[in-house]
Structure 1
Amino acid sequence: MKPHLLGNLRAYYLGSVVCMGGFLFGYDSGIVGGVLTLPSFLSDYHAPAAHSTRTNSLAVGLQQLGAFVACFFIWPITNILGRRKALMLSSVVFCIGALIQTINTGSLAAFYVARVIAGLGLGAASVVVPMFSSEMSPKELRGQIGSFFQLFYTLGIFTSYWIDYGVQQRIKGGEARQWQIPIGLQLLPAGFLGLGMITVKESVRWLMKKGREEEARKSLVWIRGGDTAEVEEEFMEIRTGLEIERRETEGFQIKELFEKDNFKRCNLAFWVFVAQQATGATAFAYFGPQYFKLLVGGGSKDLLLTAIFGAIKVAACGLFVLFLADRVDRRWVLIAGAAFMAACQITCAVVVKEKPSPGQGKVTSSGIATVALIYLFVIAYNFSWGPLPWPYVSEIFPTRIREPGIAIGVSSQWLFNFVFSLTTPYMITNMGWGTFLLWGLFDAVIAVFTFCFLKETRGRSLEEIAHDTVLKPKVVEHIEVENYAGGK
């Protein structure tokens, strides 16, 4: 097999293995909203319907709090142990939390604690995965493989929705296994992530930083499919970039993050992930049944509509990753995606306000229209703000501050994931149609933010991006043309 083809296959394989962290994130995100509505769970945990809003809020929000905390502990750990061992550790921690959740303790307090523990593992993995993926992917495939995280996330959500729907239909409401099966299945992707690390090589750039050049060379040769002139050129480029960074500053200190250019990068990463959460898509992932109840009035259709929602997410994200990820400019896709989502959400708010659902599961033409708008919204999200923030943020940092930089960005994702997951049940209960209007206004602001502050990174090496801190989008496009003309 030709080195180029073998290298691409290995890059796809590594991306698939590490992005099981994304599948785990998605599966957990999707499973909990449905589980919390199952009669068996409500009975075993003595969770009265009158307190459902609080239960929903805490069961989801506390895990996001654990994930947020983990972001600040994992980057020094991955700097010491490497990417592979850090992901193994994340997998073990998550499995402990998932196992406690699966045991029928009958105590909501124990369930909440287990959610926090699982969140620690999930948050740690979400920091390391984009870091590892960006450092090992060839620049021609970096956007596509970096978007695997979102693709696997949507696959996880899709799987969880249909499992929730299946156990509701097939298992009697009084049996504990109705909720234990979907919760316990979290252990499978977590175990695959941890064990999968045995089959891949350590990050080339991390090995180079540690002075282990021979191992780094072997790792690069493995991931590129052979020892070729292009691989040697890339190895020298990585080594030169690291040598420049070592000369510029010796001995990393936290205060470096507050230096002008580094602070700009950290600030940008923070707000990119805040924007991703403020689109409203993650809230839909967690509380799909509750949202569709608001649109169509409850009944037996909530979980089915949520499962179809998950299938559309997978199809949209799959099409983007396979055919568009590295063929379109990140910046303009993010702008268009946010604008389209704003239109869908605001229109949905108007329809729900003017033609509210009559309840009792009666589906009206206005209900069908709002469901269609939400499906269009999720398609737009998975063509833009779903997959692209992960590769974008992992690309903008030089190696020297990549670990803390990505940790800052991903921590904001978990922080606002926590904020919105904690508040969304109350928004649905108290605001009704105003919930959709709020998300729509957020999306409009995000479109403006993207137009004003984001720059293009597609088709450029990490070393090139690392030494570019002030270029405007048009200048970046000009440089890309020059680089491709020069054979870079």
Structure 2
Amino acid sequence: MDGTGGGREYGGRVTAFVALSCVTASMGGVIYGYDIGVAGGVSSMEPFLREFFPDVYRRMKGDSRVSNYCKFDSQLLTLFTSSLYISGLFTAVLLSSWVTARCGRRPSMIVGGTAYLAGAAVSGGAVNVYMAILGRALLGVGLGFANQAVPLYLSEMAPTRYRGAFSNGFQFSLCLGDLASTITNYGVEKIKAGWGWRLSLALAGIPAVFLTVGSIFLPETPNSLVRQGKDHLVVKALLHKMRGFEAVDQELDDIIAANILATKPGDNGMHMILSQRRYRPQLAMAILIPSFSQLTGISAIGFYAPVLLRSIGVGESASLMSTIILVFVSSVSTLVSMFTVDRFGRRTLLLIGGIQMIICEVLIGAIMVAKLGDEGGISKTYAIILIFLMGVYVVGFGLSWGPLGWLVPSEIFPLEIRSAGQSITVASCFAFTICISQFFLAMLCQMKAYLFFFFAGWIMVMTAFVYFFLPETKGLPIEQIGKVWGKHWFWKKVLGVGEVTASY
């Protein structure tokens, strides 16, 4: 079922030059992860709720007429969370794809870091809920640019044999950002004066400074330099420095050949991927993979883990500490994925992680159906079991859909549609994140614990999709991956005989 295709391999090793460049670029993942963690943590802090969402605060403090599942059901609260993704969606569709394709990966990262820094300042200084939402919208603009450019940068800079590990570094840095924000939330929650939430939001500016300043000194990727028409000798010199050896002609030839195909007059990447049959597999993956990643329910747990734990009766400090543990476990599992994805392959990790998440979602839903009603809490024993199952769930996600949801789309697009394809990937991710974040609390209120069965059903669908429709791409040069579609049992039918022949 994997449809693995052959392809020539390039030589080279992991040089300090490439490693440091990719670590710097990965700050884009840190700012994304920091936001995921800080949004859910701040949304559970009593001083923040008391100042901006008093109705939610009153329900949380013991309105017995409100179900446990409905205490945090507020469209204004979810707008605070999802406003970032709304602005990020429009940025990805309207701006970042064009900037990344025409100007390069570096400028997009610089713009993204600058916008995120501005958003952190506005959020930390917010005096009303609308200013807080404006701050998050600016953060979304920053993420729209960073999420567009950073995965492409990592895929294009990495040596072929280690591309999976380098690209998974985006998710690992996301986990580190998430961990930093949850630790920050736990610490500032203890500030008696009640302004700790401002510190949590404002500290998002620290990784944004590293991304912005660091990107100024980063090299552009060879693929982007060729796309911009730079001298091939300059690109060859960069490849020498990146790979640590002289024989880079084969890799350079493939990049140049891909660029020739990409520069056909009268076409642009977005028009090509949307209109031409040869790009149907990539278009499907650009839409479905990030969408599936959100339908695992991970955004719900990431945003609202503290809120969920408060809903089942866990105290404010205890819920934040439990979230720290969950994020740490997720970070470790993502690190494991970095070192195993190029050995075992993308499909294997996605299948194993999917099965693991299905089991956990079903067990979490079953326990909550049986033990948590509309009123009262849940026993300490079952609360510990739920936290444990959430931990096992995030391990499965960290091994599979977390990092690979970014890796697979970033490596499957040929150069002529790479920026446009990544834009569609980011837009799909943000669109489904908006849906989940905007409606999760309302769905929790209406569906109650059965919501976890809803997510389990989607994980079954996506696991089956991986088994039948996703070809393996490990070990293939990024400019040679297009050949796998013509060898896959399903996609070769979609492409047709002419396109399959043209891919060889």
* CA shift in 2, pair 1:432/1:474, >3 Å: closer
- Conservation of the 8 A alpha-carbon contact between 2:126 and 2:132: no
AA at the equivalent of 2:254:
E
Counterpart in 1 of 2:351? 335
Kindly report which structure 2 residues correspond to 1:72-471, keeping only aligned pairs within 5 A, or say none: 72=93, 73-105=95-127, 107-169=128-190, 171-172=191-192, 174-176=193-195, 178-212=196-230, 213-226=232-245, 228-229=246-247, 231-246=248-263, 249-253=264-268, 254-257=270-273, 258-298=275-315, 300-321=317-338, 323-356=339-372, 363-471=379-487
Between 1:356-365 and 1:404-413, the stretch displaced more is: 356-365
Which whole-Å deviations, capped at 9, do the CAs of 1:326-381 have from their partners, x for residues lacking one? 11110122122112211110121112111227977764333322221111010000
Displacement of 1:414 in angstroms is 0.6
| Distance of 2:306 and 2:52 partners within structure 1 | 20
| Distance of 1:59 and 1:465 partners within structure 2 | 40
- Conservation of the 8 A alpha-carbon contact between 1:19 and 1:149: yes
| Distance of 2:385 and 2:372 partners within structure 1 | 12
Displacement of 1:290 in angstroms is 1.4
Q: Give the secondary structure class of the aligned counterpart of 1:457.
A: coil
Q: Give the secondary structure class of the aligned counterpart of 2:161.
A: coil
Displacement of 1:141 in angstroms is 1.0
| Distance of 1:263 and 1:309 partners within structure 2 | 37
| Distance of 1:359 and 1:81 partners within structure 2 | 56
Structure 1: where are the runs of 5+ without partners? 477-488
Which whole-Å deviations, capped at 9, do the CAs of 1:30-53 have from their partners, x for residues lacking one? 001111222332344363325853
Counterpart in 2 of 1:23? 30
Displacement of 1:233 in angstroms is 2.8
Between 1:68-77 and 1:427-436, the stretch displaced more is: 427-436
Which whole-Å deviations, capped at 9, do the CAs of 1:108-153 have from their partners, x for residues lacking one? 1111122111101112210111111111111111100000111011
- Conservation of the 8 A alpha-carbon contact between 1:84 and 1:197: yes
- Conservation of the 8 A alpha-carbon contact between 1:158 and 1:313: no
Counterpart in 2 of 1:42? 49
Q: Give the secondary structure class of the aligned counterpart of 1:387.
A: helix
For these two proteins, the number of residue pairs brought into alignment is 464
Displacement of 1:468 in angstroms is 4.0
| Distance of 1:294 and 1:440 partners within structure 2 | 21
AA at the equivalent of 1:47:
P
| Distance of 2:238 and 2:392 partners within structure 1 | 42
| Distance of 1:324 and 1:251 partners within structure 2 | 42
| Distance of 2:155 and 2:363 partners within structure 1 | 37
Structure having greater relative contact order (Cα 8 Å, sep ≥ 6): 2
Which whole-Å deviations, capped at 9, do the CAs of 1:199-251 have from their partners, x for residues lacking one? 3211101111222123322322222235x12x2332223223333554xx434
* CA shift in 2, pair 1:279/1:475, >3 Å: closer
* CA shift in 2, pair 1:100/1:68, >3 Å: same
Counterpart in 2 of 1:482? none
AA at the equivalent of 1:215:
V
Displacement of 1:283 in angstroms is 1.4
Q: Is 1:71 matched up with 2:92?
A: yes
| Distance of 1:391 and 1:298 partners within structure 2 | 37
- Out of 73, 76, 83, the residue aligned to residue 53 of structure 1 is 73
Between 1:50-59 and 1:430-439, the stretch displaced more is: 50-59
Which whole-Å deviations, capped at 9, do the CAs of 1:24-81 have from their partners, x for residues lacking one? 0010110011112223323443633258532431111111111111111101111222
AA at the equivalent of 1:8:
T
Q: Is 1:472 matched up with 2:488?
A: yes
CA RMSD after TM alignment:
2.3
AA at the equivalent of 1:116:
A
Q: Give the secondary structure class of the aligned counterpart of 2:402.
A: coil
| Distance of 2:353 and 2:98 partners within structure 1 | 35
Displacement of 1:473 in angstroms is 7.7
* CA shift in 2, pair 1:175/1:354, >3 Å: closer
AA at the equivalent of 1:13:
L
- Conservation of the 8 A alpha-carbon contact between 1:291 and 1:428: no
Q: Give the secondary structure class of the aligned counterpart of 2:479.
A: helix
- Conservation of the 8 A alpha-carbon contact between 2:120 and 2:202: yes
Structure 2: where are the runs of 5+ without partners? 1-10, 60-71, 493-504
Between 1:66-75 and 1:350-359, the stretch displaced more is: 350-359
Give the TM-score normalised by the residue count of structure 1.
0.90
